[in-house]
Structure 1
Amino acid sequence: MGETSFVTDQVWSKIPDGSITTPKGFKATGIHTKVKRKRKDLGIIYCEQPVPAAAVYTLNQIQAAPIALTKQVLEDGGHVQAVVVNSGHANACTGHAGLVDAYTVQEKAADVFNMQADNVAVASTGLIGERMKLEKILPGLEQLVPTESKEEASSFAESILTTDTGTKEVCVQVPIDGKVVTIAGVAKGSGMIHPNMATMLGFVTTDAHIEHDVLQQTLSKVTDQTYNRITVDGDTSTNDMVLTMASGEANNQSLTPDHPDWDAFLRAFTHVNEELSKMIAKDGEGATKLIEVVVNGAPTNECAGKVAKQIVGSDLVKTAVYGADANWGRIICAIGYAGVPINPDTIDIGIGPCQTLLQSEPVPFDEEEISVYLQNDTIQIKIDLHVGEGYGKAWGCDLTYDYVRINAGYRT
C-alpha cells in the first residue's frame, strides 16, 4: 500500500476536544515541582493495569538514562502501566549516577501507585548534562493525581514542554468491528529536531485491542513516515522517544494486518502521528512557517522521502522561505545532493500554486505572486522527478533570527 492512501482515504473522525485520556483506560496529570521556574515539569500517564506498549528511540549513539530504562521495560514484557515524564533536565550524559536516578524515579512511582516497577517507563527532556533533581521530583510523584479529565490531560501536555510555544495534542476515532476505537497523541519538540527522531517526546494512547508485537511493528513503520520526516536544525538529540500504549478497552477483535479493518486503524494511527510531527516542525524554535515538501515520481517511496527531507533540511531553502524569496535554485540543488537516482532533465518544481520548473526547464512566473504566497504560515513545495512511482513527504520550518537568539542563550 502506498503512502498516498493515508492521505486520500480518510476513515477517521477528529475529536476537537479529545486528549490522551479520551481513549478508555487512561488517566493523566502534570504538576509544577519547581524544577523549572514557572512551568509544569512533571507528568504521568497511568493505566489501572499493565497494557501492551511499544516505543521507538533516538538513533543518536549517546542515549540518556531514561532511554536505557524504558528499553529494558519493553524488552522484559512489552507491557507498561505508567510513564513518568520530567522536563527541565534531560538526565543525559550523567553517567552511572544518572541511571540510578532514573531507576529511583521508576521505583518511587511504582510505590506511590502500587505498581510493579518493571511496568513503569520513564522519559526526560531538557538540558543535557544535568542530573535529575530528586529532592523535587520524588515528593512531586506523591502529589500526582491522574484523572480522565481533559484538564489533567492538558496539564500533562504542558508538563513535558521545554522551548515549545504551546502544547501539541490530537485525537481521532475510527470504527473497528463495529466498535468506536479512539487514538490520541501528545508531543513536545521545538529545537534539536532532525530526521531519525529529534529532541522530541511523543505519547500515543489507544483503547484498541492490539498486542505488543503488532503495535511495535506498526509504530516503527509509521515513525519512518512521520517523525523521521521532520527537521528543524539538523541536530539529533539524546532523549527522543515515542511511546504508545493500547488498553484494549474498545473490545474489538485483536488487530493484526489480517484483520478486515486493519487499513482503517493504520490510517488513523498514521494520521495521529503525522499531525504530531507537523506540529513539532511548525513549532521549530523561532519558526514562523511550516514547510511541507511533497515528492512524486521517485524510484521508490524511500527515495522520495530522502529527497523531501533533503529539501526541507536545507538551510538555504529554509532561509529563502523565511525571506519570502522564490529561489527555486536552492531546491533543485538540494535534490541533486539527496543521494538518490534522478534524471537531471525531468524535474518539476512548484512553490504553492506557482510552477517554477517543468522538465528541468525554467518557467516564467510572477515573483510577486510567489512572494505573497511565501508569507503564509504553511508553505508547500511540490516536486515530480518523473523517474518512478515513489511518493513521500517531509516537514520542517523556516530558519529565523530568533532561532539563533533562543539557542545562543539556552543554557544561560
Structure 2
Amino acid sequence: METDNAISRGSWLNALSTYNCTAEDVRHQAEILRQKGKAIRIEADALAKYYQLGVNNRFHDQIQCNREWLHLLQDMLNMITSVTQTLGEIKIEGEHFIATLNDAITVNAETIAYRNSQLGGDSFNDEVQTELYKESELQKKILNDFQLAIDDAVVLLQDLILIRREIEKVIADKNKALKIDIDMFNINEKSANVSFKPLHDRESVNYIDLQTWDDILRELLPPAEEYYKKSLEVCERLYDTLNNASNRLTAKADDVSQSLRRQIHQINLALRELHYQQIEATSIIFIQLEKTKEKLIADIAEWQSSKASKTAQHKLNETRTETRTERPALENTKDAVYFGLNDERSNLLECSNALDKIIVKAREQLKMVEDEMAEICEQIRILNHPLEVDNIVIGMRGRLKAPEPVNSPFCPQTAAVLPKKPNFD
C-alpha cells in the first residue's frame, strides 16, 4: 500500500534531472565567473605593472631632465662664480692701483710745490716743471677714468651676486626635487613607510604646468650668459686700462726723471764752467791784486809818511802864518814870506788831497774786484741751489711706485646646451 510521501520512480528521475541541470548551470556560471575573475586579475596585474612602469619611466625621464638641468645650472654657476671672483680680484687690484696713484699724485704735488717755493714761486717754469704739470694732468685723468670703471665693475658685481644667488636657489630646489623623485623611483610595494596617505590628493598652490616650468628655467640662462659675457668684457677692459695706465704713468715718470737728469747735467756743466772761470779769474785777479796791493801798500805807506812829514811842515806853516799875524799893523803886510807860506800851505793841501784820492781810487778798484769775485760766487750759489732742489726732488720721487702690469686670467666660456624637456605624452 502506497503512502502519501511515496515518490514515483518517474518523479524522482525528473527531479534528479532537474537538480542535475540546475547544478550544471550553477557550475557553468561559476566557471565563467571564475574565468572572468582570472582574466580581470590578469588584466589588473598587467595594467598595474603597465602604469607603474609608465610612472617609473616618467620618473626616470624627469630625473634625467633634472640632472641635465643641474649640470647646466652648475656649469653656469661655476662660470658666474669664476667671473665674479676674477672681477673681484681686478677690482681689488684696481683699488690698490688707485691708492698707489693717489700716493703718486701726492708726491707730484709735493715736488711741484717744493720747486715753486724754492725756485721763484708759481710763475717759475722750466722743462722739469712743465713735465711735472703734464704728469699731474695725466695722473688726474687716469684716476677719474679708472674710478668710473671701478664703479661700473662694482655695480656689475652686485648684479652677478644676485644672479648667482638666484641660480643657487634654483639648484637647491632642483636638488631637493631630484632627491624626492629618486627616492620615489627607488621605492616599491615592500618598502618601508608605504601606506595609504590621507593627503595624497591635496592641491599645492605652487603647482605650475610643465611648459611654464621649462620656460622659467630657459629664461634664467640667457641673462646669466649675457652677464657672464659682459663681465668678461669688463675684466678685459679693466686689465687693459690698468696696464695702459701703468705704462703711460711709467713713461711719463721716465720723462720727468729724464728731464731732471738732463737739467742736473746742464747745471753741472754750467757749474764746472763757472768753477773754471772762477779759478782762472781768481788766479789772474789775485795775482794782479797782490801786485797792486803791494804797490798800493808801499805807495800808501810812502804817501802816509810823506803826509805825516807834510803834517809837521803844515803845522809849522800854520804856526808861522798865525804868529806873523801878531806883527804890528804897519808891519803886518802881505810880503814875500806871506805868499810863500800860502803857496806852501796850498801845496801841502794839494798833496794830501791827491794822496787821499789815490787811496780812495785804489780802494774802489779793490772793491770792484771783490764785487766781481762775489758775483761769481753768487752765480755758483744760484746754480747750486736748483741743483740741490732737483736732487731733493729726485729723492722725493723715489717714493713713486709705478703699478706693475698684470696678466689677464683665463675665464673659460662654455657653450650652454639646453636639455630637452621630458615628453610625458
The structure whose residues are more often strand, as a share, is 1
Give the structure-2-normalised TM-score. Answer: 0.16
Structure with the greater alpha carbon radius of gyration: 2
Give the structure-1-normalised TM-score. Answer: 0.17
Higher relative contact order (Cα pairs below 8 Å, separated by 6+ residues) = 2
